Chain A
Amino acid sequence: MNLVLNIIISGLISGSVFALLAIGFSLIFGVARIVNIAHTAFYMVAAYCIYIVTHQMGFHPIWAMIAAIVLVTLLGIICYKIFINPIREHEGAVLIATIALAMAFQEIMALIFTGTYLSVPSLVKGYFLILGVKVFYQQLLTFLVAMLIMAVLWVLLTKTKLGLAIRSTAQDREVANLMGINESQVAMMTMGASVGLAALTGAVVVPLTILEPHMWMHPLIMMMAVVVLGGLGSLKGSFLGAYILGFAEALVVFLAPMGAFLKGSVALSIMILVLLIRPEGLFGVSFEEER
Protein backbone atom coordinates (compact mmCIF):
# COMPACT_ATOMS: atom_id res chain seq x y z
CA MET A 1 0.00 0.00 0.00
CA ASN A 2 2.80 2.35 0.98
CA LEU A 3 4.56 1.55 -2.23
CA VAL A 4 1.49 2.24 -4.36
CA LEU A 5 0.95 5.55 -2.65
CA ASN A 6 4.58 6.50 -3.11
CA ILE A 7 4.35 5.72 -6.79
CA ILE A 8 1.19 7.75 -7.18
CA ILE A 9 2.62 10.80 -5.41
CA SER A 10 5.89 10.66 -7.23
CA GLY A 11 4.16 10.07 -10.58
CA LEU A 12 1.73 12.93 -10.09
CA ILE A 13 4.45 15.38 -9.17
CA SER A 14 6.94 14.56 -11.87
CA GLY A 15 4.04 14.25 -14.32
CA SER A 16 2.88 17.77 -13.47
CA VAL A 17 6.38 19.15 -13.84
CA PHE A 18 6.86 17.44 -17.20
CA ALA A 19 3.43 18.65 -18.27
CA LEU A 20 4.26 22.27 -17.48
CA LEU A 21 7.53 22.00 -19.36
CA ALA A 22 6.15 20.10 -22.32
CA ILE A 23 3.14 22.38 -22.73
CA GLY A 24 5.39 25.43 -22.86
CA PHE A 25 7.64 23.71 -25.35
CA SER A 26 4.71 22.59 -27.52
CA LEU A 27 3.15 26.02 -27.44
CA ILE A 28 6.03 27.78 -29.14
CA PHE A 29 6.63 24.87 -31.47
CA GLY A 30 3.00 24.90 -32.54
CA VAL A 31 2.83 28.62 -33.15
CA ALA A 32 6.24 29.37 -34.63
CA ARG A 33 7.75 25.94 -35.42
CA ILE A 34 10.59 26.79 -33.06
CA VAL A 35 12.19 23.72 -31.47
CA ASN A 36 13.46 25.43 -28.37
CA ILE A 37 16.16 23.21 -26.91
CA ALA A 38 16.95 26.01 -24.48
CA HIS A 39 13.49 25.65 -22.94
CA THR A 40 14.72 23.78 -19.88
CA ALA A 41 17.81 25.99 -19.71
CA PHE A 42 15.43 28.86 -18.98
CA TYR A 43 14.03 26.65 -16.25
CA MET A 44 17.53 26.30 -14.85
CA VAL A 45 18.16 30.04 -15.01
CA ALA A 46 14.91 30.63 -13.11
CA ALA A 47 16.05 28.20 -10.44
CA TYR A 48 19.35 30.07 -10.02
CA CYS A 49 17.45 33.32 -9.96
CA ILE A 50 15.56 32.04 -6.94
CA TYR A 51 18.79 31.01 -5.29
CA ILE A 52 20.23 34.50 -5.73
CA VAL A 53 17.16 36.29 -4.44
CA THR A 54 16.63 34.04 -1.42
CA HIS A 55 20.14 33.06 -0.39
CA GLN A 56 22.29 35.93 -1.49
CA MET A 57 19.84 38.79 -1.14
CA GLY A 58 17.78 37.33 1.66
CA PHE A 59 14.26 37.95 0.41
CA HIS A 60 11.27 35.72 1.04
CA PRO A 61 10.96 32.87 -1.51
CA ILE A 62 7.70 34.27 -2.84
CA TRP A 63 9.50 37.42 -4.05
CA ALA A 64 12.14 35.21 -5.51
CA MET A 65 9.51 33.35 -7.49
CA ILE A 66 7.98 36.51 -8.87
CA ALA A 67 11.40 37.96 -9.72
CA ALA A 68 12.46 34.74 -11.41
CA ILE A 69 9.35 34.53 -13.57
CA VAL A 70 9.47 38.15 -14.66
CA LEU A 71 13.22 38.28 -15.31
CA VAL A 72 13.43 34.97 -17.12
CA THR A 73 10.43 35.83 -19.31
CA LEU A 74 12.16 39.05 -20.25
CA LEU A 75 15.37 37.16 -20.90
CA GLY A 76 13.43 34.78 -23.12
CA ILE A 77 11.93 37.60 -25.16
CA ILE A 78 15.33 39.28 -25.54
CA CYS A 79 16.92 36.01 -26.65
CA TYR A 80 14.08 35.52 -29.10
CA LYS A 81 14.52 38.98 -30.56
CA ILE A 82 18.29 38.73 -30.89
CA PHE A 83 19.00 35.08 -31.65
CA ILE A 84 15.85 33.45 -32.99
CA ASN A 85 13.72 35.99 -34.79
CA PRO A 86 16.32 36.91 -37.44
CA ILE A 87 16.71 33.26 -38.47
CA ARG A 88 13.20 32.08 -37.80
CA GLU A 89 12.58 30.82 -41.31
CA HIS A 90 15.46 28.32 -41.12
CA GLU A 91 14.12 25.69 -38.79
CA GLY A 92 17.47 23.90 -38.59
CA ALA A 93 19.37 27.05 -37.75
CA VAL A 94 16.88 27.85 -34.99
CA LEU A 95 17.46 24.41 -33.51
CA ILE A 96 21.21 24.95 -33.47
CA ALA A 97 20.85 28.47 -32.09
CA THR A 98 18.75 27.23 -29.18
CA ILE A 99 21.25 24.47 -28.40
CA ALA A 100 23.94 27.14 -28.33
CA LEU A 101 21.80 29.28 -26.03
CA ALA A 102 21.32 26.38 -23.63
CA MET A 103 25.06 25.66 -23.55
CA ALA A 104 25.80 29.33 -23.03
CA PHE A 105 23.43 29.52 -20.05
CA GLN A 106 24.95 26.38 -18.59
CA GLU A 107 28.49 27.72 -18.88
CA ILE A 108 27.57 31.14 -17.55
CA MET A 109 25.96 29.55 -14.51
CA ALA A 110 29.00 27.30 -14.07
CA LEU A 111 31.27 30.36 -14.19
CA ILE A 112 29.26 32.26 -11.61
CA PHE A 113 28.29 29.50 -9.23
CA THR A 114 30.85 26.81 -10.15
CA GLY A 115 29.49 23.31 -10.39
CA THR A 116 28.70 22.99 -6.68
CA TYR A 117 25.39 21.45 -5.74
CA LEU A 118 23.19 24.07 -4.16
CA SER A 119 19.76 23.94 -2.65
CA VAL A 120 16.95 26.35 -2.00
CA PRO A 121 14.53 26.42 0.95
CA SER A 122 10.96 25.31 0.40
CA LEU A 123 8.24 27.86 0.17
CA VAL A 124 6.28 25.98 2.82
CA LYS A 125 8.00 23.76 5.33
CA GLY A 126 6.83 20.53 6.83
CA TYR A 127 4.91 17.52 5.68
CA PHE A 128 1.79 15.55 6.39
CA LEU A 129 1.07 11.84 6.34
CA ILE A 130 -1.31 9.94 4.12
CA LEU A 131 -1.56 6.35 5.32
CA GLY A 132 1.92 6.64 6.72
CA VAL A 133 3.48 8.08 3.60
CA LYS A 134 5.25 11.38 4.00
CA VAL A 135 4.03 14.10 1.67
CA PHE A 136 5.91 17.39 1.88
CA TYR A 137 3.82 20.52 1.64
CA GLN A 138 6.18 21.73 -1.06
CA GLN A 139 5.26 18.67 -3.14
CA LEU A 140 1.59 19.38 -2.68
CA LEU A 141 2.17 23.02 -3.56
CA THR A 142 4.07 22.10 -6.70
CA PHE A 143 1.24 19.85 -7.78
CA LEU A 144 -1.46 22.42 -7.05
CA VAL A 145 0.40 25.25 -8.75
CA ALA A 146 0.94 23.07 -11.81
CA MET A 147 -2.79 22.31 -11.94
CA LEU A 148 -3.70 25.96 -11.47
CA ILE A 149 -1.33 27.12 -14.19
CA MET A 150 -2.67 24.57 -16.64
CA ALA A 151 -6.22 25.68 -15.89
CA VAL A 152 -5.25 29.32 -16.42
CA LEU A 153 -3.53 28.43 -19.65
CA TRP A 154 -6.57 26.53 -20.84
CA VAL A 155 -8.81 29.52 -20.18
CA LEU A 156 -6.31 31.81 -21.89
CA LEU A 157 -6.22 29.64 -24.98
CA THR A 158 -9.91 28.90 -25.34
CA LYS A 159 -11.64 31.98 -23.97
CA THR A 160 -9.54 34.99 -24.88
CA LYS A 161 -8.74 36.83 -28.06
CA LEU A 162 -5.03 36.24 -27.61
CA GLY A 163 -5.80 32.54 -27.30
CA LEU A 164 -7.76 32.64 -30.51
CA ALA A 165 -4.84 34.36 -32.22
CA ILE A 166 -2.41 31.78 -30.86
CA ARG A 167 -4.55 28.85 -31.99
CA SER A 168 -5.18 30.36 -35.41
CA THR A 169 -1.50 31.08 -35.97
CA ALA A 170 -0.56 27.58 -34.88
CA GLN A 171 -2.86 26.12 -37.49
CA ASP A 172 -2.25 28.29 -40.50
CA ARG A 173 -0.18 31.38 -40.02
CA GLU A 174 -0.82 32.71 -43.51
CA VAL A 175 -4.58 32.65 -43.08
CA ALA A 176 -4.19 34.02 -39.55
CA ASN A 177 -2.37 36.92 -41.16
CA LEU A 178 -5.23 37.39 -43.58
CA MET A 179 -7.60 37.72 -40.64
CA GLY A 180 -5.55 40.63 -39.31
CA ILE A 181 -3.58 38.66 -36.74
CA ASN A 182 -0.01 39.96 -36.56
CA GLU A 183 1.70 36.63 -36.74
CA SER A 184 5.19 37.73 -35.72
CA GLN A 185 3.80 39.57 -32.71
CA VAL A 186 1.84 36.48 -31.71
CA ALA A 187 5.01 34.42 -32.06
CA MET A 188 6.86 36.78 -29.74
CA MET A 189 4.11 36.76 -27.14
CA THR A 190 3.92 32.99 -27.31
CA MET A 191 7.67 32.83 -26.77
CA GLY A 192 7.19 34.98 -23.70
CA ALA A 193 4.42 32.73 -22.40
CA SER A 194 6.42 29.62 -23.16
CA VAL A 195 9.57 30.80 -21.38
CA GLY A 196 7.40 32.16 -18.58
CA LEU A 197 6.01 28.66 -18.12
CA ALA A 198 9.54 27.24 -18.02
CA ALA A 199 10.52 29.83 -15.41
CA LEU A 200 7.48 29.06 -13.33
CA THR A 201 8.20 25.36 -13.47
CA GLY A 202 11.74 26.08 -12.33
CA ALA A 203 10.39 28.21 -9.53
CA VAL A 204 8.06 25.58 -8.11
CA VAL A 205 10.43 22.68 -8.64
CA VAL A 206 13.70 24.06 -7.38
CA PRO A 207 13.08 23.38 -3.68
CA LEU A 208 12.52 19.72 -4.56
CA THR A 209 15.70 19.26 -6.56
CA ILE A 210 19.39 20.04 -6.50
CA LEU A 211 20.61 23.17 -8.17
CA GLU A 212 23.54 22.76 -10.55
CA PRO A 213 24.43 23.96 -14.05
CA HIS A 214 23.52 20.66 -15.73
CA MET A 215 20.10 20.39 -14.14
CA TRP A 216 18.42 21.26 -17.48
CA MET A 217 19.56 18.04 -19.20
CA HIS A 218 17.33 15.47 -17.55
CA PRO A 219 14.13 17.54 -17.81
CA LEU A 220 15.00 18.30 -21.43
CA ILE A 221 15.19 14.63 -22.29
CA MET A 222 12.01 13.88 -20.38
CA MET A 223 10.24 16.80 -22.01
CA MET A 224 11.31 15.71 -25.48
CA ALA A 225 10.09 12.21 -24.75
CA VAL A 226 6.77 13.59 -23.53
CA VAL A 227 6.38 15.68 -26.64
CA VAL A 228 7.23 12.77 -28.92
CA LEU A 229 4.81 10.54 -27.04
CA GLY A 230 2.01 13.11 -27.03
CA GLY A 231 2.54 14.29 -30.57
CA LEU A 232 4.58 17.33 -31.54
CA GLY A 233 2.63 20.53 -31.15
CA SER A 234 -0.36 18.96 -29.39
CA LEU A 235 -1.04 20.46 -25.97
CA LYS A 236 -3.47 17.70 -25.05
CA GLY A 237 -0.84 15.15 -26.04
CA SER A 238 1.79 16.92 -23.97
CA PHE A 239 -0.48 16.90 -20.95
CA LEU A 240 -1.33 13.21 -21.13
CA GLY A 241 2.14 12.17 -22.24
CA ALA A 242 3.63 13.95 -19.25
CA TYR A 243 1.60 11.95 -16.76
CA ILE A 244 2.19 8.70 -18.60
CA LEU A 245 5.93 9.28 -18.43
CA GLY A 246 5.75 10.59 -14.89
CA PHE A 247 4.12 7.39 -13.74
CA ALA A 248 6.35 5.20 -15.89
CA GLU A 249 9.35 6.81 -14.28
CA ALA A 250 7.92 6.39 -10.80
CA LEU A 251 7.09 2.74 -11.46
CA VAL A 252 10.61 1.96 -12.60
CA VAL A 253 12.23 3.87 -9.74
CA PHE A 254 10.17 2.15 -7.08
CA LEU A 255 9.70 -1.32 -8.53
CA ALA A 256 12.75 -2.23 -10.61
CA PRO A 257 15.86 -3.27 -8.71
CA MET A 258 18.34 -0.39 -8.81
CA GLY A 259 15.49 1.51 -10.48
CA ALA A 260 16.81 4.98 -9.74
CA PHE A 261 19.69 4.35 -12.11
CA LEU A 262 17.29 3.36 -14.88
CA LYS A 263 15.29 6.58 -14.57
CA GLY A 264 16.72 8.19 -17.68
CA SER A 265 16.38 5.15 -19.85
CA VAL A 266 12.62 4.93 -19.33
CA ALA A 267 11.96 8.10 -21.25
CA LEU A 268 14.36 7.24 -24.02
CA SER A 269 12.94 3.74 -24.42
CA ILE A 270 9.42 5.10 -24.66
CA MET A 271 10.60 7.70 -27.15
CA ILE A 272 12.18 5.05 -29.37
CA LEU A 273 9.12 2.81 -29.13
CA VAL A 274 6.78 5.64 -30.10
CA LEU A 275 8.96 6.64 -33.01
CA LEU A 276 8.97 3.04 -34.24
CA ILE A 277 5.28 2.28 -33.78
CA ARG A 278 3.46 5.58 -34.09
CA PRO A 279 5.78 8.39 -35.17
CA GLU A 280 3.07 11.06 -34.99
CA GLY A 281 2.52 10.32 -31.28
CA LEU A 282 -0.77 9.96 -29.44
CA PHE A 283 -2.45 13.11 -30.67
CA GLY A 284 -0.06 14.30 -33.31
CA VAL A 285 -1.19 15.23 -36.75
CA SER A 286 0.95 14.46 -39.71
CA PHE A 287 1.46 18.07 -40.67
CA GLU A 288 -0.03 19.18 -43.93
CA GLU A 289 2.42 21.97 -44.45
CA GLU A 290 0.58 24.96 -45.80
CA ARG A 291 3.37 27.39 -45.21
Chain B
Amino acid sequence: MLLEVTNLSVWYDKAMLINHLSMGVDTGELVSLVGPNGAGKSTLLRAITGLVAWEREITKRSTHGDIILEGSVTFDGERIDQIPAHEIVKRGLILCPERRRPFREMTVLDNLMAGSYLLKNKEEIQINLSKVYQLFPVLKDRSNQISGTLSGGEQQMLAVGRALMSKPKLLCIDEPSTGLAPLLRAEVFQKIKEISKLGITVLLVEQEVSTVFKMTSRNYVLSSGKIIAEGTGEQLLQDEVLRKTYLGL
Protein backbone atom coordinates (compact mmCIF):
# COMPACT_ATOMS: atom_id res chain seq x y z
CA MET B 1 0.00 0.00 0.00
CA LEU B 2 1.20 3.51 -0.81
CA LEU B 3 -0.66 5.03 2.10
CA GLU B 4 -1.62 3.02 5.11
CA VAL B 5 -3.49 4.39 8.09
CA THR B 6 -3.60 2.06 11.07
CA ASN B 7 -5.69 2.54 14.17
CA LEU B 8 -5.52 6.33 13.90
CA SER B 9 -7.21 8.47 16.55
CA VAL B 10 -7.32 12.23 16.76
CA TRP B 11 -8.59 14.28 19.68
CA TYR B 12 -9.06 18.01 19.63
CA ASP B 13 -9.29 18.88 23.28
CA LYS B 14 -11.80 16.34 24.51
CA ALA B 15 -13.58 15.71 21.23
CA MET B 16 -12.55 12.56 19.45
CA LEU B 17 -12.67 13.39 15.75
CA ILE B 18 -11.04 10.25 14.39
CA ASN B 19 -11.76 7.03 16.22
CA HIS B 20 -9.35 4.11 15.76
CA LEU B 21 -9.53 4.37 12.00
CA SER B 22 -7.71 2.16 9.53
CA MET B 23 -7.66 2.56 5.77
CA GLY B 24 -5.28 2.48 2.85
CA VAL B 25 -4.69 3.65 -0.69
CA ASP B 26 -2.76 1.69 -3.30
CA THR B 27 -0.50 3.17 -5.95
CA GLY B 28 -2.49 4.37 -8.95
CA GLU B 29 -5.87 4.22 -7.26
CA LEU B 30 -8.53 6.90 -7.21
CA VAL B 31 -10.16 6.52 -3.83
CA SER B 32 -12.90 8.63 -2.31
CA LEU B 33 -13.83 9.39 1.26
CA VAL B 34 -17.48 10.26 1.65
CA GLY B 35 -19.76 10.78 4.59
CA PRO B 36 -21.92 13.35 6.35
CA ASN B 37 -20.69 16.71 7.58
CA GLY B 38 -18.56 16.42 10.68
CA ALA B 39 -17.69 12.80 9.99
CA GLY B 40 -14.00 13.64 10.18
CA LYS B 41 -13.12 13.51 6.48
CA SER B 42 -11.16 16.73 6.47
CA THR B 43 -9.53 15.93 9.79
CA LEU B 44 -8.38 12.61 8.40
CA LEU B 45 -6.77 14.33 5.40
CA ARG B 46 -5.19 16.90 7.72
CA ALA B 47 -3.83 14.14 9.93
CA ILE B 48 -2.39 12.28 6.94
CA THR B 49 -0.71 15.35 5.47
CA GLY B 50 0.83 16.46 8.77
CA LEU B 51 -1.34 19.50 9.47
CA VAL B 52 -2.66 18.00 12.68
CA ALA B 53 0.89 17.31 13.89
CA TRP B 54 1.82 20.88 13.02
CA GLU B 55 -1.23 22.30 14.73
CA ARG B 56 -0.41 20.26 17.82
CA GLU B 57 3.03 21.89 17.99
CA ILE B 58 1.43 25.32 17.76
CA THR B 59 -1.26 24.70 20.34
CA LYS B 60 1.38 23.61 22.81
CA ARG B 61 2.37 27.26 22.86
CA SER B 62 -1.17 28.61 23.17
CA THR B 63 -4.12 28.46 25.51
CA HIS B 64 -6.12 26.16 23.25
CA GLY B 65 -6.82 22.63 24.35
CA ASP B 66 -4.51 19.79 23.55
CA ILE B 67 -4.45 17.86 20.33
CA ILE B 68 -3.68 14.18 20.56
CA LEU B 69 -2.67 12.06 17.61
CA GLU B 70 -2.38 8.29 18.05
CA GLY B 71 -1.92 5.33 15.78
CA SER B 72 0.22 5.27 12.69
CA VAL B 73 0.26 6.61 9.16
CA THR B 74 2.69 5.01 6.74
CA PHE B 75 3.50 6.49 3.37
CA ASP B 76 5.70 4.69 0.89
CA GLY B 77 6.96 2.43 3.67
CA GLU B 78 7.84 5.24 6.06
CA ARG B 79 6.00 6.34 9.19
CA ILE B 80 4.92 9.93 8.80
CA ASP B 81 2.31 10.49 11.51
CA GLN B 82 4.53 12.52 13.83
CA ILE B 83 6.15 14.57 11.08
CA PRO B 84 4.92 18.15 10.59
CA ALA B 85 3.36 19.15 7.26
CA HIS B 86 6.29 20.98 5.71
CA GLU B 87 8.45 17.87 6.01
CA ILE B 88 5.88 15.64 4.37
CA VAL B 89 5.56 17.34 0.99
CA LYS B 90 9.00 16.28 -0.16
CA ARG B 91 8.01 12.66 0.38
CA GLY B 92 5.39 13.06 -2.35
CA LEU B 93 2.21 13.52 -0.38
CA ILE B 94 0.26 16.75 -0.64
CA LEU B 95 -3.12 18.14 0.28
CA CYS B 96 -5.19 20.47 -1.86
CA PRO B 97 -7.03 22.10 1.04
CA GLU B 98 -10.69 22.74 1.63
CA ARG B 99 -12.03 26.06 0.31
CA ARG B 100 -9.17 26.10 -2.24
CA ARG B 101 -7.18 28.73 -0.35
CA PRO B 102 -4.96 30.18 -3.06
CA PHE B 103 -2.50 32.84 -1.89
CA ARG B 104 -5.00 35.52 -2.80
CA GLU B 105 -2.71 38.50 -3.23
CA MET B 106 -0.15 36.66 -5.30
CA THR B 107 -0.22 36.05 -9.02
CA VAL B 108 -1.23 32.69 -10.46
CA LEU B 109 2.37 32.02 -11.44
CA ASP B 110 3.67 32.83 -7.95
CA ASN B 111 1.07 30.50 -6.48
CA LEU B 112 2.26 27.72 -8.73
CA MET B 113 5.89 28.48 -7.87
CA ALA B 114 5.05 28.25 -4.19
CA GLY B 115 3.74 24.78 -4.99
CA SER B 116 7.15 23.69 -6.22
CA TYR B 117 8.97 25.44 -3.39
CA LEU B 118 10.96 22.38 -2.43
CA LEU B 119 12.10 21.44 -5.93
CA LYS B 120 15.64 22.63 -6.49
CA ASN B 121 16.03 21.83 -10.17
CA LYS B 122 14.82 24.71 -12.33
CA GLU B 123 14.28 22.54 -15.37
CA GLU B 124 12.14 20.18 -13.38
CA ILE B 125 10.03 23.11 -12.20
CA GLN B 126 9.58 24.28 -15.78
CA ILE B 127 8.55 20.79 -16.88
CA ASN B 128 6.04 20.62 -14.03
CA LEU B 129 4.76 24.04 -14.95
CA SER B 130 4.18 23.11 -18.56
CA LYS B 131 2.38 19.94 -17.45
CA VAL B 132 0.11 21.94 -15.17
CA TYR B 133 -0.52 24.48 -17.93
CA GLN B 134 -1.39 21.65 -20.28
CA LEU B 135 -3.88 20.27 -17.80
CA PHE B 136 -5.30 23.70 -16.96
CA PRO B 137 -4.84 25.99 -19.99
CA VAL B 138 -6.79 28.71 -18.21
CA LEU B 139 -3.96 29.09 -15.70
CA LYS B 140 -1.53 29.82 -18.48
CA ASP B 141 -3.77 32.56 -19.84
CA ARG B 142 -4.07 34.08 -16.39
CA SER B 143 -0.54 33.47 -15.15
CA ASN B 144 0.04 37.13 -14.26
CA GLN B 145 -3.37 37.75 -12.77
CA ILE B 146 -3.76 38.17 -9.00
CA SER B 147 -5.31 34.91 -7.90
CA GLY B 148 -7.88 36.51 -5.61
CA THR B 149 -9.58 37.92 -8.71
CA LEU B 150 -10.07 34.51 -10.33
CA SER B 151 -13.50 32.89 -10.38
CA GLY B 152 -14.25 30.06 -7.99
CA GLY B 153 -13.70 27.42 -10.62
CA GLU B 154 -10.41 28.92 -11.71
CA GLN B 155 -9.28 29.14 -8.09
CA GLN B 156 -10.00 25.45 -7.72
CA MET B 157 -7.95 24.68 -10.82
CA LEU B 158 -5.18 26.82 -9.36
CA ALA B 159 -5.31 25.02 -6.01
CA VAL B 160 -5.06 21.65 -7.73
CA GLY B 161 -2.37 22.92 -10.09
CA ARG B 162 -0.38 24.32 -7.19
CA ALA B 163 -0.54 20.96 -5.43
CA LEU B 164 0.58 19.19 -8.61
CA MET B 165 3.60 21.49 -8.85
CA SER B 166 5.16 19.62 -5.94
CA LYS B 167 5.23 16.47 -8.09
CA PRO B 168 3.18 14.36 -5.69
CA LYS B 169 2.80 10.61 -5.69
CA LEU B 170 -0.40 10.95 -3.73
CA LEU B 171 -2.68 13.94 -4.09
CA CYS B 172 -5.36 14.47 -1.45
CA ILE B 173 -8.14 16.79 -2.56
CA ASP B 174 -10.60 18.15 -0.04
CA GLU B 175 -14.06 18.98 -1.42
CA PRO B 176 -13.11 20.48 -4.77
CA SER B 177 -16.67 20.95 -6.01
CA THR B 178 -18.07 22.86 -3.04
CA GLY B 179 -19.46 26.24 -4.00
CA LEU B 180 -19.14 25.74 -7.75
CA ALA B 181 -21.82 25.85 -10.43
CA PRO B 182 -22.84 22.43 -11.83
CA LEU B 183 -21.00 22.92 -15.12
CA LEU B 184 -17.79 23.80 -13.33
CA ARG B 185 -18.17 20.85 -11.00
CA ALA B 186 -18.31 18.52 -13.96
CA GLU B 187 -15.14 20.12 -15.29
CA VAL B 188 -13.36 19.76 -11.95
CA PHE B 189 -14.29 16.07 -11.78
CA GLN B 190 -13.12 15.62 -15.36
CA LYS B 191 -9.75 17.12 -14.44
CA ILE B 192 -9.42 14.85 -11.45
CA LYS B 193 -10.01 11.86 -13.70
CA GLU B 194 -7.30 13.15 -16.03
CA ILE B 195 -4.88 13.55 -13.12
CA SER B 196 -5.58 10.01 -12.05
CA LYS B 197 -4.89 8.83 -15.61
CA LEU B 198 -1.49 10.56 -15.46
CA GLY B 199 -0.56 7.98 -12.85
CA ILE B 200 -0.97 10.13 -9.77
CA THR B 201 -2.76 8.42 -6.91
CA VAL B 202 -5.72 10.47 -5.71
CA LEU B 203 -7.55 10.47 -2.41
CA LEU B 204 -10.67 12.54 -2.84
CA VAL B 205 -13.06 13.89 -0.22
CA GLU B 206 -16.37 14.88 -1.73
CA GLN B 207 -20.00 15.52 -0.92
CA GLU B 208 -21.29 14.79 -4.37
CA VAL B 209 -21.48 11.04 -3.97
CA SER B 210 -23.33 10.06 -7.15
CA THR B 211 -20.70 11.58 -9.46
CA VAL B 212 -17.74 10.48 -7.41
CA PHE B 213 -18.79 6.82 -7.22
CA LYS B 214 -18.72 6.61 -11.01
CA MET B 215 -15.06 7.55 -11.23
CA THR B 216 -13.41 5.91 -8.23
CA SER B 217 -11.94 2.46 -7.87
CA ARG B 218 -12.81 2.23 -4.19
CA ASN B 219 -14.63 4.31 -1.62
CA TYR B 220 -14.69 4.67 2.12
CA VAL B 221 -17.77 5.84 3.98
CA LEU B 222 -16.88 7.76 7.11
CA SER B 223 -19.12 8.54 10.03
CA SER B 224 -18.24 9.88 13.50
CA GLY B 225 -14.57 9.34 12.82
CA LYS B 226 -14.91 5.70 11.82
CA ILE B 227 -14.98 3.85 8.52
CA ILE B 228 -18.41 2.26 8.38
CA ALA B 229 -18.27 0.85 4.87
CA GLU B 230 -15.80 0.27 2.09
CA GLY B 231 -16.19 -0.88 -1.49
CA THR B 232 -16.81 0.09 -5.09
CA GLY B 233 -19.53 2.57 -5.84
CA GLU B 234 -21.91 -0.13 -7.02
CA GLN B 235 -21.42 -2.23 -3.92
CA LEU B 236 -22.06 0.68 -1.62
CA LEU B 237 -25.14 1.85 -3.48
CA GLN B 238 -26.78 -1.56 -3.10
CA ASP B 239 -26.93 -1.13 0.66
CA GLU B 240 -30.27 0.54 1.30
CA VAL B 241 -29.49 1.73 4.85
CA LEU B 242 -26.14 3.13 3.85
CA ARG B 243 -27.67 4.99 0.93
CA LYS B 244 -30.43 6.61 2.92
CA THR B 245 -28.57 7.30 6.16
CA TYR B 246 -25.11 8.25 5.13
CA LEU B 247 -25.04 9.07 1.46
CA GLY B 248 -28.32 10.95 1.20
CA LEU B 249 -29.30 9.30 -2.06
Residues of A at the B interface (CB closer than 8 Å) are 86-90, 161, 164-165, 167-168, 171-172, 174-183, 285, 290
Contact = CB atoms under 8 A, between A and B. Distances in A.
B86 interface: yes
B49 A161 contact: no
A176 B101 CA distance: 10
B135 to A, nearest CB: 18
B62 interface: yes
A179 B162 contact: yes
Contact of A89 (B62, B89, B103, B162): B62
Contacts of A171: 103-106
Interface in B62-89: 62-64, 84-87, 89
A172 B162 CA distance: 14
Interface in B97-150: 97, 101, 103-106, 110, 113-115, 117-118
Interface string B44-60: 00000111001000110
A73 to B, nearest CB: 24
A183 B86 contact: yes
Contacts of A90: 61-63
The 4 closest A-B pairs by CB, nearest first: A89-B62, A180-B89, A180-B118, A177-B85
A285 B115 CA distance: 24
B232 to A, nearest CB: 30
A180 B86 CA distance: 4
Contact of A164 (B61, B97, B117): B117
B85 to A, nearest CB: 4
Given A168-B103, A168-B106, A179 B61 contact: no
Nearest to B104: A171
B67 to A, nearest CB: 13
B106 A177 contact: no
Given A89-B58, A90-B62, A179-B115, 10 more contacts: A89-B59, A90-B63, A161-B117, A164-B110, A167-B110, A171-B104, A175-B103, A178-B97, A180-B90, A183-B86
A181 B61 contact: no
A89 to B, nearest CB: 3
Interface SS, A side? helix
Contacts of B117: 161, 164-165, 168, 179-181
B219 interface: no
A161 B117 CA distance: 7
Contacts of B63: 89-90
B61 A88 contact: yes
B166 interface: yes
19 contacts: A89-B59, A89-B62, A167-B105, A167-B106, A171-B103, A171-B105, A172-B101, A174-B54, A177-B50, A177-B84, A178-B86, A178-B94, A179-B114, A179-B117, A180-B87, A180-B89, A180-B166, A182-B86, A285-B105
B33 interface: no
Contacts of B110: 164, 167
Contacts of A176: 103, 114
Contact of B86 (A172, A181, A285, A290): A181
A87 B117 CA distance: 28
B5 interface: no
Contacts of A165: 114, 117
A241 B232 CA distance: 60
Contacts of B115: 179
A167 B113 CA distance: 12
A175 B101 contact: yes
Interface in B217-238: none
Contacts of B87: 180
A290 B62 contact: no
A163 B116 CA distance: 14
A49 to B, nearest CB: 31
B95 A178 contact: yes
A183 B89 CA distance: 14
B61 to A, nearest CB: 5
A49 B2 CA distance: 57
Contacts of A183: 86
Nearest to A167: B106
A178 B110 CA distance: 15
Specify which of A176, A177, A181, A290 lies most central, judged by the most chain B CB atoms within 10 Å of its CB.
Answer: A177
A177 B115 CA distance: 10
Contact of B54 (A161, A164, A177): A177
Interface string B142-162: 000000000000000000001
Contacts of A285: 105
Nearest to B165: A179
Nearest to A87: B61
